[in-house]
């Protein structure tokens, strides 16, 4: 029996991987290749980010920036999160045209007296109920109210 070289095994492996990638590339025209060491694998580029299935960390509320502005998660018509002080939840409806309506906001009633925390939160929750649409800028979610006025940025 003839011994095969390491190069032969490498070439056979690359051929097998290539054979596996071709159907992926044919099914997904937006697929791109990424190299990990010497093995290339195919991954499908996502068409559009989604509101759901992500914990969105609030990075900006109006002109306020900081690490502890809170988060929001969207799921099945219900959103929940935490702002600078209190937890909140609401009902939402989103459309294919990036429209977004938030209503029936409920929040805990803790009083936080660290700087202007309560003022920021009160303004944010009021603006959240005024949201009309959203857009993505890279991996950033931007919430907008009337006339495309930015309410908040989330990552």
Q: What is the pLDDT along the chain (155 residues), one digit of tens a residue?
A: 556 665 655 555 545 555 554 444 444 444 444 444 444 443 444 457 889 989 999 999 988 898 789 999 999 999 999 999 999 999 999 999 999 999 999 999 998 888 888 999 999 999 999 999 999 999 999 999 999 999 999 99
Q: Are both 36 and 100 inside the same structural domain?
A: no
What is the Cα–Cα distance from 131 to 119, expressed in whole angstroms? 18
Q: Are both 92 and 127 inside the same structural domain?
A: yes
| 19, part of any domain | yes
Residues sharing a CB contact under 8 Å with residue 82, sequence separation 6 or more, in sequence order: 70, 71, 88
| 21, part of any domain | yes
| 31, part of any domain | yes
pLDDT score at 124: 94
| 109, part of any domain | yes
Q: In the beta sheet, which residues pair with residue 58?
A: 154
pLDDT score at 14: 46
- Which structural domain, as residue segments, surrounds residue 39? 6-44
CATH code at 148?
A: 2.40.128.270
If one counts the domains in the chain, the total is: 2
């Amino acid at each position: 029996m003839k011994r095969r070289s390491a190069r032969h095994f490498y070439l056979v492996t690359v051929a097998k991987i290539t054979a596996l990638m071709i159907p992926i590339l044919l099914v997904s025209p937006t697929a791109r290749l990424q190299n990990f060491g010497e093995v290339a694998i195919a991954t499908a580029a996502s068409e559009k980010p989604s509101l759901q299935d992500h914990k969105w960390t609030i990075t900006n509320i109006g002109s306020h920036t900081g690490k502890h502005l809170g988060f929001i998660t969207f799921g099945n018509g219900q959103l929940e999160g935490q702002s600078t002080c209190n937890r909140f939840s609401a009902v939402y409806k989103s459309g294919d045209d990036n429209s977004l309506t938030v209503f029936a906001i409920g929040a805990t009633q803790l009083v936080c007296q660290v700087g202007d925390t309560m003022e920021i939160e009160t303004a944010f929750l009021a603006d959240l109920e005024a949201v009309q649409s959203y857009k993505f800028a890279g991996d950033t979610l931007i919430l907008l109210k009337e006339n495309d006025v930015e309410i908040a940025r989330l990552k």
